[in-house]
Amino acid sequence: MENSCDEDYRIQSFDMETQDLLKTTLKDPSSVDLKEVSKIIVDHSLKDRAFSKEAGHICCNIVQVEAQQTSSSVFRYNLLNCLQEQFEAREETRKRSVQEWVCYVTFICNIFDYLKVNNMPMLVLVNPVYDCLFRLAQADSLLNEEEVDCLVVQLHRIGEQLEKMNGQRMDKLFDLLRDGFLLQEGLSSMSRLLLLEILEFRAGGWSLSNSAHQYYYSEVAD
Amino acid sequence: MSFRHRSRHYDDRRTDDSRSNRGASRWSHCRKRGADGNLRPQDDPNFTVFDDAEKGVKSLRHPDSRPASFTTPESAGPVSRCADWGSEVEQEEIRSGVRRDMQRYRRRILAGDFNERERKTSSGSSDSRDSPIPAEMETDEVVLMRRQKQINYGKNTLAYDRYIQEVPKHLRQPGIHPRTPNKFKKYSRRSWDQQIKLWRVKLHAWDPPVQEGSDLQAIEEIDLDEIMEIESGTGNSVESGATVQCPKASKGSMTIPEDSCSGTPSKVMKTEAAFDLEMCLNEVEDSSKSLGL
């Protein structure tokens, strides 16, 4: 049970004390300082790529447990405000460390994906997520494979949902991606590949045709 | 209950200053948690849940010329200016809950579900507004959200929890057991607020028992302060920003400390009489056709 908890939530990268705190939170949220827990989670997600990819899962569960046990949403409230603080400081974060910036985008998209409100995505996150993706589509970011990779991964995961929430912005985003693909000098071939794939992916209604899938994902037989 | 004065529009706010800025009231510790969901510490001055609800209204008085609310192409209705994501999501949750309830309610009306229950609870009131015809349903989201928050406020109590555990729905008797006011019925602001008030008062009968020797056992009157605060949007306002978080949530025992609320049923009944609430209650029972819980 303990082990699966670690794997499910990827909390192995936390120190033991924090792991215990998180496990306690999942069992008895009213016994911990949820504001502190939310801060710990957000801070850690900036440092740990693997965690940021799946942090939404543990957050979602904490929210559910808290709602069931105490009918409150303290954790979610604090988590979102923490997220907002980081969002407002994203440009500084990016300057300081592209990796942290990429982790942040991964994290916020993950939260958008997992944390639903009455079965709908949180409206308040839609524009901030778009803002992040737009930033990733800027010229200077396209030159970093890391950022391009992050961009396409997030679009794969939540692109369809995002488009439903705001189609216009998605259109504009893809205009940028087309421009980037066509005009951006200095793009690595990997970046071009990633961009081409996401263009086809969306054009196919957020899925790849069989032949395209073959092209991009099959092992190449020499 | 008849009201000579109807509020001019639904969002008319009371400006009764004597009711704002109350300190901690006797009943504040019966509330499990505050506006933002934080568990409330014992000595926390009571703050209202309506700061969010009233935000839309508050910002009408905002000094700068920004509109109080705006509609974006994506949102289906007005969006009040919430500074932080945390509060915004709380609003979203209430809004989507209200919309879902509305759909459900409409379906129930159209399915004719209400007819039998209406006949049982009706005592011949001629108030035509109480019939659940869809055209006469309250649909203004601002109003519905405000009402939902008031309801949440009442359901967010230990008394309510104990009540619903003790008395299952099918055993509830009108007049004896409190019923949640039906937010979809058309009522004036005053009528609604009064129903909520009385509902909350009745719920106090299920407050957890108090220890012997506590000061609160010596109450002579029901303290309606806590209920009055519902009307004041200004008092003890909780800014949705940073400072609301209650780190004491970590101490958070869900159970109210033993020496907090009093309010055994007998006390409540006695004091109700002292306040002529019986009279009000009778009137409300006649006219109130709450169909929800």
pLDDT in tens, A67-120: 988 888 999 999 999 999 999 999 999 999 999 999 999 999 999 999 999 999
pLDDT score of B194 more than 60: yes
Q: Is A127 helix (H, G, I), strand (E, B) or coil?
A: helix
Mean pLDDT of B8-17: 43
Q: Is the confidence at residue B252, as pLDDT, over 50?
A: no
Is A36's CB within 8 Å of B250's CB? yes
pLDDT at B185: 94
pLDDT per residue over A1-10, tens digit each?
444 455 566 7
Q: For residue B74, what is the DSSP state?
A: S
The mean pLDDT value for A120-146 works out to 96
Residue A166's pLDDT is 97
Please tell me the predicted confidence (pLDDT) of residue B161. 87
pLDDT for residue A125 is more than 60: yes
Report the residue of chain A nearest B156, measured CA to CA.
Answer: A71
Please give the average per-residue pLDDT across B206-235, as a whole number.
55
What is the distance between the alpha carbons of residues A140 and A215, in angstroms, rounded to a whole number?
28
A118–B contact, CB cutoff 8 A: yes
pLDDT value, residue A142: 96
Please say if the pLDDT value at position B116 is more than 80. Answer: no
Mean pLDDT for A8-13 is 75
* Poorest-pLDDT segment among A49-63, A100-114, A130-144, B128-142: B128-142
- Give the nearest partner residue to B96 out of A71, A118, A166, using CB atoms: A118
pLDDT computed for residue B23 by the predictor = 46
Q: What mean pLDDT comes out for the span B125-133?
A: 48
Partner residue opposite B37 with nearest CB, options A73, A84, A125: A73
Q: How far is CA B156 from CA B104, B216, B261, B276, in A?
A: 22, 21, 15, 27
Q: Is the pLDDT of residue B221 over 80?
A: no
Average model confidence (pLDDT) for chain B? 63
Looking at residue B118, its pLDDT comes to: 53
> CA dist A159 to A151, A166, B127, B231, Å?
10, 10, 52, 44
- Judge whether residue B139 has pLDDT over 80: yes
For every residue of B132-174, DSSP letters joined together read --GGGB---HHHHHHHHHHHHHHHSBHHHHHHHHHS-GGG--T
Contact B75 A72 (CB under 8 A): no
Instruction: From residue B65, give the alpha-carbon distance in Å to each of B72, B77, B88, B151.
Output: 18, 20, 22, 33
What is the average pLDDT across B181-205?
A: 94
Whether the CA torsion B28, B32, B34, B40 is positive or negative: it is: positive
**Top-ranked range on mean pLDDT: pick from A27-41, B38-52, B271-285:** A27-41
Widest CA span in chain A: 60
Gap between the Cα atoms of B191 and B284, Å rounded:
9
pLDDT the model gives residue B18: 43
Give the rounded percent of residues in chain B with a pLDDT score beyond 70: 36
Both tokens of residue B221?
């009157």
Note whether A124 contacts B92, CB cutoff 8 Å: yes
Tokens 């974006």 appear where? B72
Tell me the CA distances in angstroms from B262 to A193, B167, B179, B223, one per residue in order: 70, 20, 22, 11
SS3 per residue for B199-239: HHHHHHHHCCCCCCCCHHHHCCCCCCHHHHCCCCCCCCCCC
Closest-CA residue in chain B for A128? B85
**pLDDT tens per residue across span A151-168:** 999 999 999 999 999 999
Average pLDDT over residues B36-44: 51
Are B14 and B231 in contact, with CB atoms under 8 Å apart? yes
Whole-number pLDDT of residue B10: 42
Higher pLDDT among residues B282 and B147, named by residue = B147
Comparing alpha-carbon positions, the chain B residue that sits nearest to A88 is: B84
The alpha carbon of residue B230 and the mean position of all alpha carbons in its chain are separated, in whole angstroms, by: 7
Q: Which residues in chain B have Cβ-Cβ distances shorter than 8 Å to A74?
A: 33, 36-39, 245-246, 249
Write down the pLDDT at residue B115: 56
What pLDDT sits at residue A25? 93
pLDDT of B259 reads 41
A187 touches chain B (CB under 8 A): no
Does this complex have an ipTM over 0.85? yes
Tokens 């989201």 -> residue: B141
Return the C-alpha torsion angle A161, A166, A167, A169, nearest 10.
Answer: -110
* Least confident segment among A194-198, B104-108, B176-180, B254-258: B254-258
pLDDT at residue A13, as a whole number = 84
Q: What pLDDT is recorded for position B110?
A: 85
Residue A169: the pLDDT is 97
Statement: residue B182 has pLDDT above 80: yes
The predicted pLDDT at position B109 comes to 87
Q: What is the pLDDT of residues B59-110, one digit of tens each?
A: 344 444 455 555 555 444 455 556 899 999 999 999 999 999 999 999 988 8
Find which of B87, B90, B245, B256 to mutate to test the A interface (most A CBs within 10 Å of its CB). B245
pLDDT at B123: 47
